[in-house]
A and B are shown apart, each in its own frame.
Chain A
Amino acid sequence: MATPLTPILTAHWDDPDSFTIDGYSRHGGYDALPKALAMEPDAVIGLVKDTGLRGRGGAGFPTGLKWSFVPQNDGKPHYLVVNADESEPGACKDMPLLMANPHALVEGIIITCYAIRARHAFIYVRGEVPHAIRRVAAAVREAYQAGHIGTNIHGSGFDLDVVVHSGAGAYICGEETALLDSLEGRRGQPRLKPPFPAVAGLYASPTVVNNVETISNIPYIIRNGVDWFRQFGTEKSPGFKLFSVSGHVRSPGVYEAPLGITMRELIDYAGGMREGSELKFWVPGGSSVPMLTAEHLDLPMTYEAMAEAGTMLGTATPMVFDQTVSVVKTVTRWLEFYKHESCGKCTPCREGTSWMTGLLETFEAGHGQESDLQIIDDICHQIAGRSFCALGDAAATPFPGAMKYFRDEFVAGTHTSADDAFNPVASTVLAGASTR
């Protein structure tokens, strides 16, 4: 039987006022808050640990465990920083969530801060999406007016301030320590870890950095409990997830489903492949994870199954490409992105992305040297594991992943340009159906 979709965070997005406090409260919104405030903070952390919720920002780190790393009674202020920098190519689930259901995030923030004993939270939103910023900023204002944020929240003695902060265009600021530097008013360059943010984060104080979707799960968890949450997904990948499905499907969009759903099912819900289209390759979670092909369509979309297939679930935001697409062009464009976004702090990534891009461009143009394929591969090995942060590892990912399945296409790049091999108009939405 097909895995059913599970609209939870997305359940009421078709209400015209889903983003307002009235729209949210009508469906049980802010009911979790008094429940959490009546618990001991450690009990809230314990409950989130028991759900097995894993971070939705890409790495899948257990959320409750992360919270428990924050030292208590240390006399220092604690901070929660919500990562809403969503800039991973392919990822488009946090911005929709902020636009349609920002109060789930706000209620989640209040509960999380209560649990980790923070009285200041920041929402770092990428600057290029002003409508997400104004929706979440309005939600914060409404929550203040309703007494959900501020001093002595609902008579609990708990105080909290929440600040919405606009970024200014830099993918690297999604990396949590770069984000903290950016939030401190500096260039967004990663910090050496350890110390981890939970010990020395914002202003050198204990800080939890979590993704928008992670924190938006919290009110639903508090309201419905551990067993309810664990009925979705698998033992190691419990819960539900926003899958943004993009590319050559009939109905691209946001699909909320339990972890463990297959890509075949997701494509099916998305109306199937577009007219005349056949799947060529797909990427489960952003450009930073290795690509897969049709033979992987029936694998469960879980952290463990994706790792077993040699890729990663990442942000669980699959991109689907059909037979009209040049793998060489796709990978080259991603490398141009990593080159552009490399912060320049460490040599392997700064130099490596530059060399790789230059070489890949020769294959895209149809005059690559076959021996250079080995050189690009060597560069990937020089970057992976030797860079200062995970952006370097990400940059070293698309090429080896593509070579595994489409080496021939790169070899063809020694004599035929990508645009000659693949009519660039055929892959566009304007072309609609296409048979090459």
Chain B
Amino acid sequence: MEIDDTTRDEVRAIIARYPETRSALLPLLHLVQSVEGSVTPDGIEFVAEQLELTPAEVASVATFYTMYKRHRTGRHHIGVCTNSLCALLGGDVVWKSLSDELGIGHDETTADGEFSIERIECQAACTHAPSVTIDWEYFDDATPASVSEVIAKLRAGEPVQSTRGPVIRDFRATEHTLAVTDDGLAGEGPSADHRMLAGLTAAKERGMALQDTAAPASSEGEN
């Protein structure tokens, strides 16, 4: 595994965040996954060295968590929520059409290395069911057609924007974000989409007053 100077600096910064170094284990596994696309024996050894743990200790942690992949993931990793609510609202249909289109099943990667797919559990996006994620970015209210269109665009190298976040990069870039957390993309996407705003919109339509007395609506723009 090739670790460049930038990554080494990031390792130091991540470890420095915590009062006890072992707490850096999960972020460091995300970091090595961002370098290699999966958590390899090399990656495990590297993390173990950094934290003065044995590779066996690191491996036993890595295998506990579903986000750490032992097989090579695709350049893009697509998840379809098939927990009850999403499944019923269309997740099962979306999953089947995606799996058929790519000719692969759960936890498999296309031969060209472009896509891997996974049946995922509830993404805290049930209000946006069926929930799909592309490199873990939300791709809400998915349909077989919308997912198929995204696949075509990603193949063609055209930009695809998350429904509530940034333009899709790739799986490894997201893993890097998870390791370092602040990646400069927080300003992408809306503050909230129409579903997150459903209650506020309903309240405003009915003229229901804002309730936070210390900050009446008239304070707008004062700062």
What residues of chain A have their CB less than 8 Å away from a CB belonging to chain B? Answer: 4-8, 10-11, 13-20, 22-23, 25-28, 31, 77, 86-92, 94-96, 99-100, 120, 126-131, 133-135, 137-141, 163-171, 182-188, 203, 220, 223-224, 228, 232, 240, 243-248, 251-257, 269-270, 287, 317, 319, 321, 325, 329-331, 333-334, 337, 340-341, 424-425, 427-430
- B residues less than 8 Å from A245 (CB atoms): 127, 198
Since A5-B208, A127-B67, A253-B198 are in contact, a sample of 19 more A-B pairs with Cβ atoms closer than 8 Å, ordered by chain A residue number, is A5-B202, A6-B208, A7-B199, A7-B208, A11-B200, A27-B219, A88-B122, A89-B85, A90-B122, A96-B192, A141-B182, A165-B23, A166-B179, A186-B22, A252-B198, A254-B197, A429-B90, A430-B93, A430-B143
Query: How many Å from the CB of B151 to the closest CB on chain A?
Result: 18
Q: Is B100 an interface residue (CB 8 A)?
A: no
- B residues less than 8 Å from A256 (CB atoms): 199-200, 203
**B200 to A183, Cβ gap below 8 A?**
no
What residues of chain B have their CB less than 8 Å away from a CB belonging to chain A? Answer: 17-20, 22-27, 29-30, 51, 60-61, 64-68, 79, 82-85, 87-90, 92-93, 120-130, 133, 136-138, 141, 143, 162, 164-166, 174, 177-179, 181-183, 185-192, 194-203, 206, 208, 210-215, 219-223
A-B contact pairs, 16 of them (CB 8 A): A18-B191, A25-B223, A28-B215, A130-B137, A131-B189, A134-B185, A138-B186, A165-B181, A167-B26, A167-B67, A185-B26, A203-B20, A248-B89, A251-B195, A334-B83, A428-B93
Residues A170 and B64 in contact in the complex (CB < 8 Å), given A7-B203, A25-B223, A251-B198: yes
Query: How many Å from the CB of B164 to the closest CB on chain A?
Result: 6
**B30 to A166, Cβ gap below 8 A?**
yes
Q: How far is the CA of A148 from the CA of B23 in the complex (A)?
A: 25
* 9 pairs of A and B residues whose beta carbons are closest in the complex: A253-B198, A28-B215, A185-B25, A255-B199, A138-B186, A168-B65, A169-B67, A131-B165, A185-B22
User: CB < 8 Å: which of A8, A15, A334, A429 contacts B211?
Assistant: A8
Residues A254 and B199 in contact in the complex (CB < 8 Å), given A18-B192, A89-B126, A223-B215: yes
User: CB < 8 Å: which of A100, A165, A184, A330 contacts B20?
Assistant: A184
**B212 to A129, Cβ gap below 8 A?**
no
Chain A residue with minimal CB distance to B120? A128
Q: How far is the CA of A423 from the CA of B201 in the complex (A)?
A: 34
- B residues less than 8 Å from A319 (CB atoms): 85, 126
Query: How many Å from the CB of B223 to the closest CB on chain A?
Result: 5
User: CB < 8 Å: which of B64, B124, B164, B219 contacts A87?
Assistant: B124
**B178 to A127, Cβ gap below 8 A?**
yes
Q: Which of A5, A170, A256 neighbours the largest number of chain B CB atoms within 10 Å of its CB?
A: A5
**A77 to B19, Cβ gap below 8 A?**
yes
| Interface residue SS majority, chain B | loop
Q: Which of B18, B68, B128 neighbours the largest number of chain A CB atoms within 10 Å of its CB?
A: B18
Query: How many Å from the CB of B18 to the closest CB on chain A?
Result: 7
**A28 to B219, Cβ gap below 8 A?**
yes
Q: How far is the CA of A127 from the CA of B208 in the complex (A)?
A: 36
- A residues less than 8 Å from B124 (CB atoms): 86-87, 91-92, 94-95, 126, 129
Q: Which of B68, B87, B129, B192 neighbours the largest number of chain A CB atoms within 10 Å of its CB?
A: B192
Q: How far is the CA of A301 from the CA of B211 in the complex (A)?
A: 20
Q: How far is the CA of A28 from the CA of B5 in the complex (A)?
A: 43
**B23 to A100, Cβ gap below 8 A?**
no
**B67 to A429, Cβ gap below 8 A?**
no
- A residues less than 8 Å from B23 (CB atoms): 165, 183-185
**B30 to A168, Cβ gap below 8 A?**
yes
Residues A168 and B66 in contact in the complex (CB < 8 Å), given A17-B191, A251-B198: yes
User: CB < 8 Å: which of B88, B120, B181, B213 contacts A329?
Assistant: B88
**B194 to A253, Cβ gap below 8 A?**
yes
- B residues less than 8 Å from A248 (CB atoms): 89
Q: How far is the CA of A344 from the CA of B138 in the complex (A)?
A: 30
- A residues less than 8 Å from B83 (CB atoms): 89, 287, 333-334, 337
Chain A residue with minimal CB distance to B179? A166
User: CB < 8 Å: which of A95, A130, A244 contacts B177?
Assistant: A130
- A residues less than 8 Å from B166 (CB atoms): 131
- A residues less than 8 Å from B220 (CB atoms): 26-27
- A residues less than 8 Å from B85 (CB atoms): 89-90, 246-247, 319
**A166 to B26, Cβ gap below 8 A?**
yes
- A residues less than 8 Å from B19 (CB atoms): 77, 120, 203
Q: How far is the CA of A74 from the CA of B60 in the complex (A)?
A: 35
Query: How many Å from the CB of A132 to the closest CB on chain B?
Result: 8
Chain B residue with minimal CB distance to A422? B88
Q: How far is the CA of A99 from the CA of B187 in the complex (A)?
A: 10
Q: How far is the CA of A90 from the CA of B121 in the complex (A)?
A: 11
User: CB < 8 Å: which of B64, B165, B186, B189 contacts A137?
Assistant: B186
Query: How many Å from the CB of B85 to the closest CB on chain A?
Result: 5
**A187 to B223, Cβ gap below 8 A?**
no
- A residues less than 8 Å from B121 (CB atoms): 87, 89, 171, 337, 340-341
User: CB < 8 Å: which of A23, A166, A254, A425 contacts B178?
Assistant: A166
- A residues less than 8 Å from B185 (CB atoms): 134
Q: How far is the CA of A7 from the CA of B136 in the complex (A)?
A: 29
User: CB < 8 Å: which of B26, B92, B219 contacts A424?
Assistant: B92
Q: How far is the CA of A247 from the CA of B26 in the complex (A)?
A: 34
